[in-house]
Amino acid sequence: MDWVQLWEITTLPDNVPIVLLILVIPFYAWYGLRQAFANDRLIDSLEADPEMAKTHHRKTQPWKPGWAREIQVWPYLLRMEFLVAIIVTFILMVWSITLDAPLEEPANPSLTMNPAKAPWYFLGLQEMLVYFDPWMAGVVLPTLILVGLMVIPYMDSNPLGNGYYTYKQRKFAIWAFCFGFIVLWLSMVVIGTFIRGPGWIWFWPGQTWDHNKLIFEANRDLPDMFGITSMLGKSLFGAVVVGLFALVTALGVHKLFTWNAFNRKIYNRMSLIQYLLLQFFLVTMMLLPAKMVARLVFRIKYVWVTPWFNI
Amino acid sequence: MADDLKEQKPAGKGAALIDGVLKEVKNLKEKALDDVQSLKKPQKTQLFKSIFRVTHDEKPRNRALGILSNVFLHLHPAKINRDAVAYNYTWGMGGVTFYLFIVLTFTGVLLMFYYHPSKVQAFRDILYLEHDVPFGKLLRNMHRWAAHLMIITVWLHMFRVFLTGSYKKPREFNWMVGVILMLLTMLLSFTGYLLPDDQLGFWAVTVGTNMARATPLLGHEGPLGPELGMTAFNDVRFALLGGSIVDSNALLRAYIWHCIAIPLIAGIFMAVHFWRVRKDGGISGPAPVMLESEIKEPRRF
């Protein structure tokens, strides 16, 4: 184990934000879910007793009759904002005094950095380049991520859980979002930072980044494994395989989406366009883990080979 | 005689003059005392009233007016949900993001005083900033770490808004504006990465913009790009870099996007974002929980 190198990567000034992210995301996930479970217990008790639901205070925050429901922004909110600004400034000051921003040698087009890495928040996209061609990983998928995020409010037909933390009432939405955000996006950032060494080769944490390491990986295309040689055959075969993948994934998504009676109720509220949008974005999202498994486990480069594009 | 007269005449005039002066002095003294009195009550002065319009005492009306009549504070409502000030609901991430944007604008403007966006000067300016400019290193460090922190807080803000379902009706549109603001934040950070003109920024931007080569239809290595007549000298990557390689034009373009264009665009989107927070009914919660039995039937066309 090369602990020195692991320490060097971790303490690289530009990697400190990722270390912060690794600590902060689980904390806030726990912080939010803790409130979600508290609200779920309240919801359970209210649903068990309809009479109580009519009169009981519907928040987990304390409430007593006679308390004002609203408070003045000055001073109660403004003092909080002021305090937070001071704390953030303090953190930033300490961080800036103790850690210097990186500055390498002057830009030199004839001296390639190895590994040449994008800023850490784009490492997810750079890591996707392993699994997809640049037009997919660099252009189409980022666009779909943004559009997919933007249409979330229009696909989500579940009226519950608006303005309070809850898990019970929004299981599918929370799992889908956390899968996309934490499992796909953040873990790809972490892989790109800590795992990918020179030549963008996979080095386990603690494994020395060997600049001379070469991997003779025979990456294959799926059509070749089936002995298909003609371009027409490859194009058709790839279309069938991708189509089958989309079908199977869509069925899986449907199965999960209509898991219980409540989910089916929400499903029945959806318009056809909403449902098709949801399926399109979730199936596209699942392309990434599918391609990761195909590449990392089965060493398959392309599934669908055509004269114009490869997937 | 003549001498006496001469002495008397001025003496008579002199007494009147002294009386007049004394009167004037007394008058001035009273005015001065008035002014001193007003210093003890600054809220009564014309200066104070012209600036603040309302007195800062603890009357609920004046507390509300203190918010509503102040251009910097008027994005706040006068009163809010009592539970909304608890840290555990909002995590304060939206506010921290905005505060970091202000910090970045401030440190960024100061950095601009020392920076020339040219291949000859850029890297030397960073060295100058780090070694000669008083607090220059601190300035650059703060700008960089605030930028990284801002990306984290933007993601956390989005995470919180998702977990609380705050994007749901009537806030759907503001969520879209927020997604665009997240993109702009990342683009701001990315364009700033090139500016020191060192190996780190150069190769990061080279890797980043190489993807633009592969844009479908618009890139010279993308699907159907060459068929549409795209070459390395007219495609979308050329437009981004102002050339076919990351060089002086790319530096200038990154600089202008970073310091002028994207902050302006982000400023417009921020104005809409904050405006809509208020117009969509203020902060989303903590709202009373809703039960499954209370779901209304959806409207049909």
In this model, does residue B8 exceed pLDDT 70?
no
- The pLDDT assigned to A68 comes to 86
> Which domain does B106 fall in, by range?
93-281
B192 within a domain of the structure (yes/no): yes
B7 within a domain of the structure (yes/no): no
Task: Assign B54 a pLDDT band (cuts: 50, 70, 90).
Answer: confident
Residues B152 and B208 in one domain: yes
- The pLDDT assigned to B189 comes to 93
Q: What is the ipTM of this complex?
A: 0.94
Query: Which A positions 161-180 lie with beta carbon below 8 A of chain B?
Result: 161-166, 169-170, 173-174, 177
Cα(B152)–Cα(B170) distance, integer angstroms:
26
- Cβ–Cβ < 8 Å for A193, A120: yes
CATH of residue B249's domain is 1.20.810.10
Residues B65 and B180 in one domain: no
- The pLDDT assigned to B137 comes to 95
Residues B130 and B223 in one domain: yes
**A50 burial type by CB count under 10 A (0-12 exposed, 13-18 middle, 19+ buried):** exposed
- The pLDDT assigned to B6 comes to 53
Residues B125 and B192 in one domain: yes
Residues B66 and B102 in one domain: no
Residues B101 and B246 in one domain: yes
B289 within a domain of the structure (yes/no): no
Residues B243 and B104 in one domain: yes
B83 within a domain of the structure (yes/no): no
- The pLDDT assigned to B298 comes to 76
Q: Average pLDDT in the B217-232 region? A: 86
Residues B115 and B45 in one domain: no
The residue among A146, A123, A126, A120 whose CA lies nearest residue A138 is A126
B298 within a domain of the structure (yes/no): no
B222 within a domain of the structure (yes/no): yes
- The pLDDT assigned to B4 comes to 55
Q: How many CB pairs under 8 A join A and B?
A: 293
Residues B238 and B152 in one domain: yes
**Gap from A22 CA to chain B (nearest CA, Å):** 11
**Gap from A73 CA to chain B (nearest CA, Å):** 5
Report residue B226 as tokens: 């060459």
- Cβ–Cβ < 8 Å for A40, A167: yes
- The pLDDT assigned to A228 comes to 85
Q: What is the pLDDT of residues B269-280, one digit of tens each?
A: 999 999 999 999
Low-confidence ranges of chain A (pLDDT < 70): none
In this complex, the residue of B123, B160, B289 whose CB is nearest that of residue A58 is: B289
Q: What is the pLDDT of residues A266-303, one digit of tens each?
A: 999 899 999 999 999 999 999 999 999 998 888 888 88
In this model, does residue B1 exceed pLDDT 60?
no
First CA to last CA distance, chain A? 36
**Gap from B38 CA to chain A (nearest CA, Å):** 26
- The pLDDT assigned to B167 comes to 95
The pLDDT mean for chain B works out to: 90
For the ranges A243-252, B12-21, B123-132, B256-265, the lowest mean pLDDT is seen at: B12-21
The single-letter DSSP state of residue B290 is: -
Cα(B270)–Cα(B181) distance, integer angstroms:
7
The verdict on B125 touching A (C-beta cutoff 8 Å) is: no
Contact across the interface for B200 and A103, Cβ inside 8 Å: yes
B87 within a domain of the structure (yes/no): no
Q: In a mutagenesis test of the B interface, which of A49, A96, A269, A302 is the best target, namely the one with the most B β-carbons within 10 Å?
A: A96
- Cβ–Cβ < 8 Å for B150, B101: yes
Residues B123 and B48 in one domain: no
SS3 B100: helix
B287 within a domain of the structure (yes/no): no
Please state the φ and ψ torsions of residue A112, each to the nearest 5 degrees.
-75, 130
Residues B152 and B276 in one domain: yes
Contact across the interface for B200 and A308, Cβ inside 8 Å: no
The single-letter DSSP state of residue B80 is: E
Q: What is the pLDDT of residues B172-209, one digit of tens each?
A: 999 999 999 999 999 999 999 999 999 988 998 888 88
In this complex, the residue of A31, A77, A88 whose CB is nearest that of residue B96 is: A88
**pTM listed for this prediction:** 0.91
The verdict on A261 touching B (C-beta cutoff 8 Å) is: no
**Number of folded domains in chain B?**
2
Residues B217 and B109 in one domain: yes
The verdict on A12 touching B (C-beta cutoff 8 Å) is: no
